[in-house]
Amino acid sequence: MSKGISTREANYAQWYNDIVIKADMAEHSDVRGCMVIKPYGFAIWEAMKADLDQRFKDTGHVNAYFPLFIPKSYLSKEANHVEGFAKECAVVTHYRLKNDPDGGIVVDPEAKLEEELVVRPTSETIIWNSYRKWIQSYRDLPILINQWANVVRWEMRTRLFLRTAEFLWQEGHTAHSTREEAIQESETMLGVYADFVKEILAIPVIQGVKTKNERFAGAEETYCIEALMQDGRALQAGTSHFLGQNFAKAFDVKFLNKEGESDFVWASSWGVSTRLMGALVMSHSDDQGLVLPPKVAPYQVVIVPFMTKDKDVQKALVETANSIANDLKLLGIRVKVDIDETKRPGFKFAQYELQGYPIRVVIGPRDLENKQVEVMRRDLGEKESYSLEGLSENLEAMLHAMQDALYAGRKAELEESIKSASTYEEFKSKIAEGGFVEAWWNGQDSTEEMIRKDTKATARCIRLEDNNADPSDQRCLFTGEAAVEKVLFAKAY
């Protein structure tokens, strides 16, 4: 126990929750399952959003906004979709409250909606209902739209960022004139996600496709990126779906192709959510608190001049701190100078560690004399002296080095964590150790059920490079029957 947070070893789940709370990222609200994203956490989400949004635009997408509410009947139009999403939903049944003669307010029974509205759990249905009006011919295609929105999926057991009833996300919904183009889009966006998570969040991922059972409700193929958390469990960090013509058929969206023939439109959808915040926390943090890759840190450098009673020295310290800050800002580095006199240095330092500020710079009177500062890189945790000469360039290089080091560390861990097994016993013991275990299997529900029961592991994905692997001559590790595909299994969030 340090700074009021648990350790990974003592209680991993508690450690995660403590960091989210104590680093001031988010908290549970009094509304069941809904979180409050606090300013520090939201600033990280904003950095993610800005970078993702630019990547979407660079790949030809535009943003739009569709209604929060979906008529209940829309959810039923796509047979698989309704099974997946029409269950745990927030349902709006009335549109008015009135004063209660006994005090307070009550629902006005006269203001009952003819058709109930569901708060969107995802927007395929409402969007494809619009696309029907927008698409007549191949000239209207492709449509490459993204939406940043809140969605609601009622959850009984919630965890901050990882599983909440309301969460924030983006959902891309694209329409195409050919099957190939829609598949290409799904794959492109998976790549965009993988690159973003790698380059910005410093998290390596496995790119793959889901097994049949794990597909998005209404998809013909679900692509996913899977990351490894420090407790050895996998976390699905983003998905991209090839939807075939399923939603076009459900909502009767046809177009005239170049040959003048009428056909149903092809679709993709793809999304990442505030769940990425959970992945970020669990990928890099340590027992001292959050560790943030510099690219998403709200402040990349914090400069703390010592507070002294000698006014001249004090003035010189603060001036030096401000001067360093200005140099850093010119390099585009986000920097904060902390001259708060009401808090002790030890308290401040602990707080910056807890909140994952990548670099801390401290200047005391002796540093000033020696024209140097004391620098600590959050992930290394060791203090070093740096000359004021060339400091901003050195700190800039240190930020790059930290970003790279975090990624390299996680990459090595992920690669090490992928194992194979030659017997079910070996499979079970390796799953218990954590990480991914690859195995050929027969693709049967009963097999999946057995594995889940025995090991708590689930089929995470078929790696892209294994997606077209030839199953002939391969046997299912679990049943000895003919295998159909090679899958990565893991216990997962």
Least spacing, CB of residue 343 vs a copy of itself, in Å: 9
DSSP symbols for 219-242: -SEEEEEEEE-TTS-EEEEEEEEE
Q: Which is nearer to a copy of itself, 271 or 435 (CB)?
A: 271
> Could you say whether residue 116 binds a copy of itself (CB under 8 A)?
yes
Q: Which is nearer to a copy of itself, 81 or 430 (CB)?
A: 81
Q: Of residues 3, 22, 51, 86, which one binds a copy of itself by CB under 8 A?
A: 86
* 383-387 sheet: strands from edge to edge: 335-337, 301-305, 359-363, 372-377, 383-387
Least spacing, CB of residue 165 vs a copy of itself, in Å: 8
- 162 with 282: CB under 8 angstroms? no
The Cα–Cα gap between 360 and 362 comes to 7
Q: Which is nearer to a copy of itself, 98 or 400 (CB)?
A: 98
| Beta-carbon count within 10 A of 340 CB | 10
Q: Which amino acid, one-letter code, is at 186?
A: S
Tokens of 358: 């990548």
> Could you say whether residue 31 binds a copy of itself (CB under 8 A)?
yes
Q: Of residues 21, 68, 256, 484, which one binds a copy of itself by CB under 8 A?
A: 68
What residues from 146 to 165 belong to the interface with a copy of itself (CB under 8 A)? 149-150, 152, 154
Least spacing, CB of residue 176 vs a copy of itself, in Å: 17
- 393 with 406: CB under 8 angstroms? no
Segment interacting with a copy of itself (CB under 8 A) among 40-48, 414-422, 454-462, 475-483? 40-48
> Could you say whether residue 65 binds a copy of itself (CB under 8 A)?
yes
What residues from 299 to 358 belong to the interface with a copy of itself (CB under 8 A)? 342
> Could you say whether residue 54 binds a copy of itself (CB under 8 A)?
no
The Cα–Cα gap between 376 and 155 comes to 41
> Could you say whether residue 70 binds a copy of itself (CB under 8 A)?
yes
Q: Going by C-beta distance under 8 Å and a sequence separation of 6 or more, which residues neighbour residue 344?
A: none
Q: Which is nearer to a copy of itself, 149 or 209 (CB)?
A: 149
- 246 with 267: CB under 8 angstroms? yes
The Cα–Cα gap between 290 and 15 comes to 10
DSSP helix/strand/coil, 362:
strand
- Which residues, listed in sequence order, are joined to residue 208 by a DSSP beta bridge? 224, 463
- 323 with 337: CB under 8 angstroms? no
Q: Which is nearer to a copy of itself, 22 or 38 (CB)?
A: 38
Q: Of residues 79, 105, 408, 412, which one binds a copy of itself by CB under 8 A?
A: 105
Tokens of 311: 């006014």
> Could you say whether residue 383 binds a copy of itself (CB under 8 A)?
no
Q: For 367, how many CA atoms within 13 A lie in the half-sphere containing its CB?
A: 23
Tokens of 287: 């027992």
Least spacing, CB of residue 479 vs a copy of itself, in Å: 33
> Could you say whether residue 136 binds a copy of itself (CB under 8 A)?
no
Q: Of residues 20, 37, 431, 439, which one binds a copy of itself by CB under 8 A?
A: 37
Give contact residues for a copy of itself (rule: CB under 8 A): 27, 29-31, 34-39, 42-43, 45-46, 62-73, 75-76, 82, 86-98, 104-105, 107, 116-119, 126, 129-130, 133, 139, 145, 149-150, 152, 154, 166, 168, 342
